[in-house]
Amino acid sequence: SSLYRRLFGEGEILVATHREPVVWVERPPEETRKSAAPRLRYPAGGVSQSLHRLLLQTGGDWVALRSSPGPNPLTVSLPDQPASYELHRILLSDPNISAGYQRFANDLLWPLFHEEPGRVLTHPGDFEHYQHVNALFADRMATLLEKRHNGFVFIHDYQLALVARGLRPRLSKNPPPLAFFWHIPWPRHSFLTEIPERADIVRGLLEHDLLGFQTPLYRDRFLESASELLGDEIRIRRQTVLWQGRKIHVGDYPIGVDPDRFESLAQGPEGPGLARKFLRQVGMDPEIPFLISVDRMDYTKGFLKRLEILETLFRRYPEHVGSLRLLQIAPPTRTTHPPYQSYQTRVRQAVRETNARWARDGWEPIVTIEETVEHRTLAPLYRLAAGALVTSTNDGMNLVAKEYLATQKDAGGTLFLSRYAGAAHGLRDAVLIDPYDPEGSARIIHTALEEPLAIRSGRNRILREEVLRHNIYEWMESILNEVHDLKNR
């Protein structure tokens, strides 16, 4: 926050995300009077929590879709701290609009940007609803910008690609810079041909001054799509796009985690006890080695590929049968969307089959927990695990990989990282697997598990340097610095 003050003086941040950073807990009035328990809860997810902490220090405004009861705007502050920010909550009262917007984002953009055309579900009129919701964000933000001068505007992800289009014409003469971060992959251009409105989306993104991607590959693919779709309308010079008399900086900013927090939760006085208690509660013996996977139950995370890899491991290297287990923390996600319902049903069925095939004397290879597990338990579980298994078939970054490494100080747990996760770009020394190649992946996993501790912990030392250096604060800082340079150029 001191860097922010140095760069932006009194200016405040205006953030926009699809999801709210806090959840309001409704309680009957009598209970509220008696209980001092906080009314705000924090949903899972690393990024919004880090932005939330920054805004608590700098002050500012945050616009998101309303998903829980409580006041609007909601003043967000921590007990015993003077600073706060205002959360402005957009209520979608028409269920048709809400459904159309969600479908366009999650049943069209999400699968295509993850190169999964088979999961696409389209419905006439969805794009209009998507535009409408983005325009609501723009209206609310324009009003806020009239009231006070903000340092910069920071909009997030594929649900809000068109907000700046509504916002730009309504900015004052000396407008704050508009920055945008695209959290998911940018696919090979051919996948975009399934989106009739692809040029609108690219133009919407070019309404910002800074456009951030997770890796150089996604950044370059965006530039390629822009040039393919807009032709003579734009000029591209390295990382700068010239469009409609403006310069847009297009960069790569690999997102990170808060490594100190994960390290101290994993090794703090409570951590190991919480992890052991959790394992016993789910019927696992803390002394028996296990691999851990943590992902929303989304088809891009490769749950079925993961099972194939595990089955191949047991078939080829039977010494793991009866000993090595997989703990999957898999909170269900987007459960009202049919492609997710059928995927989640298939995953559950496949887990049952794998378990039935390999079960021995009360031992089952896979334990799935379909609930959110708090970070204070999750971090020590990471530390205890012999390895983390990341099997995404496509993933913008994958924070779980970095969280796992953050907990492996002087320890030898192995990160098995899908080569299709953005994280594989920065974590060059990680043990990479290809989820489409179960044989090769099983061999790699078996070999790494057998390696001496010195090799495994030596590798973690190198990998952890990257995680510690490119942490979430460094991510925020490099974006703040770039935005500041743009403002003063």
Judged by the rule CB under 6 A, the positions of this chain that interact with ligand GDG are: 44-47, 183-184, 255, 294-296, 329, 331, 372-375, 378, 395-400, 403
Q: Which residues of 323-342 are buried (b: 16+ CB within 10 A; e: fewer)?
A: ebbbbbbbeeebeebebbee
In the complex, least distance from residue 51 CB atom to ligand GDG, rounded to whole angstroms: 11
Task: Outline where DSSP puts E strands in 322-372.
Answer: 325-329, 366-369
Smallest distance, Å, CB 72 to ligand GDG? 26
Q: Which is nearer to ligand GDG, 131 or 368 (CB)?
A: 368
Is the CB of 311 or the CB of 395 nearer to ligand GDG? 395
| Contact between residue 410 and residue 305 where contact means Cβ atoms under 8 Å apart | no
- Pull the structure tokens for residue 92: 């979608």
Cβ–Cβ under 8 Å, residues 127 and 109:
no
Which one, 61 or 295, has the nearer CB to ligand GDG? 295
Smallest distance from ligand GDG to CB 360, Å: 28
Cα 44 from Cα 425, distance rounded (Å) = 25
CA distance 57 to 74: 16
Choice between 152 and 420, CB closer to ligand GDG: 420
Q: Report the distance separating Cα 226 and Cα 246, nearest Å.
A: 15
User: Least distance in Å: CB of 207 to ligand GDG?
Assistant: 21
- CA 416/CA 457 separation, integer angstroms: 14
Least distance to ligand GDG from the beta carbon of 105, Å? 13
Q: How far is the CB of 294 from ligand GDG (least distance, A)?
A: 5
Cβ nearer to ligand GDG, comparing 87 with 381: 381
In Å, how far from its chain's centre is CA 61?
A: 21
Closest contact distance (angstroms) between CB of 290 and ligand GDG is 16
Nearer to ligand GDG, 243 or 340 (CB): 340
Specify the residue, 298 or 308, whose C-beta has the smaller distance to ligand GDG. 298
Residue-wise burial string across 465-488, b where 16 or more C-beta atoms lie within 10 A, e elsewhere: ebbbebbbbebbebbbebbbebbe
CB of 339 to ligand GDG, least distance (A): 15
The answer to whether 244 and 203 are in contact (CB under 8 A) is: no
Nearest residue to 396 (alpha-carbon basis) of 224, 212, 207, 223: 212
Joined tokens for residue 432: 């990479």
| Least spacing, CB of residue 215 vs ligand GDG, in Å | 10
Nearer to ligand GDG, 209 or 295 (CB): 295
Which of 230, 239, 275 has the alpha carbon at shortest distance from 376?
275
Q: How far is the CB of 183 from ligand GDG (least distance, A)?
A: 4
User: What DSSP letter does each residue of 199-264 carry, written as one string?
Assistant: HHHHHHHHTSSEEEESSHHHHHHHHHHHHHHHGGGEEEETTEEEETTEEEEEEE------HHHHHH
